Structure 1
Amino acid sequence: MHEKRKKYYHIRKDLFWCTILLAVSFLIGYAIHQHHGIFLTHSLKADAPKERIEITFDDLQSSLNDISTCYLCGSSDYSMMDYYRKFDTVGLISLNDWHVLDFQLKAYDESGNEILNKTSSNMLFGNTGEITYSSHGDVSRGMAEIDITLPENYKLNKRNLTDHLCQSCLDKVAASLEYWKYEDEKKEPIPLCLVDFKTLDIYSLQDYYRSVFIRDYYVEMGFEEISVEVKTFYLPKR
């Protein structure tokens, strides 16, 4: 019997290396394509528009038993509103500790009587433990400004509101706290609001507002990460 001979095929050296290079190029191209596809998928997901949601506080319920001690419409040893209600002007409230600030657009005596033709300006600085503030008012020009710095990682103290506001006033404050955020955004309501001392109407100081008219007062707002700047102008009709 004859032994079968093994067969061998001869390939030119240049053709062999060309084949190897083509195979390597194909594998590299495939890998790049796969990586690009994964990156593009993640990129498209990252660039997809995020949904914004509205956060409301309609569920807040007052636990105040004696509504005559309401911090906004009543009389309490822990609120200055019964004093400021004598003023025909506007102010700002720090809701976590209910510290009330007057914009000092008009001058009043201790009985709440307006002092006409007063030309002086006033400056105030303070730290309540919840906010740090500076206030400047120029009565003769009808201009005022309050700058507020909030603590880092601030949060709204809902208990302070439900314990000390009647339901009617709580509803007004709760409406002013509504705000918008993205679904995955870590964002809290700013625990501040504007107040009309004469009507006791409450106005929002959330960061999607930039200005508002309150009767004869025009209010401009500016926001940074933990600070709020509020400028107010007395603009009566002439």
Structure 2
Amino acid sequence: MKLLSILHCEALKVLRSSVFWIVVISFAAMPIMIGFVSYNNVPDTGWEPYLTDLLGSITAILMIGFSFTSCWVFGREYADKTISELLVKPVSRLYAVLSKFIIIFLWDIMMAFFMFTVVFILGIFIGLKGGSWPLIVNSFLTYLAASLATMVVSTISALLANVSKGYLAPIGLAFLTVIISNVVATAGFSSYFPWTIPSLLLSGIPLGTASITILAVTGIIGFAGTIAWWRFAEQQ
């Protein structure tokens, strides 16, 4: 079975699941609630502080959301007890893992675009002032870079989902990292903790060599570790 065929099957699993639509609604609801509470009926509100504050506020949402998609795509095989059937099929385990990671990436990137669109439309609805296309585009590119960095660290959730054979442990890790991130940021060590590095990008702070290395190593551990688990670990 070719990679595209496996990829098609994985896409159908996501699209036909109610979880997909729950994630869509959640990603739309959170920025709307935050935006309305903070900026609705506030006079002379501008686009720049709106985008800076709101995009910064949804960093934790991205972290939890992307971690959830990563662990759910892998963890559901254990929760639904379909992992044994998948492993005995004449399908390359490498292709199976790659297809899942591709689906996770497409799902996450779509949700990142969707969330920014919601934020942008909400800003128009509120009636913000002082907006310009260069400002919007620059904010979007900065937000996209932070989103991609968040996707990189979320590979750890995929690995943990396989090691723990479910998605409860990685979901717990996602919430734990949000709490730890606040402590790390307060202590001034954001550039050395993988889950706070995306927030630096969102703040427009250039990443140093150490931060880039930590981010890359974290992503490699999650991605390569998941492949190795499927390839070598004993599956029951």
TM-score, normalization by structure 1: 0.25
More strand by share: 1
Tell me: higher relative CO, structure 1 or 2? Use CA pairs within 8 A at least 6 residues apart. Answer: 2
More helix by share: 2
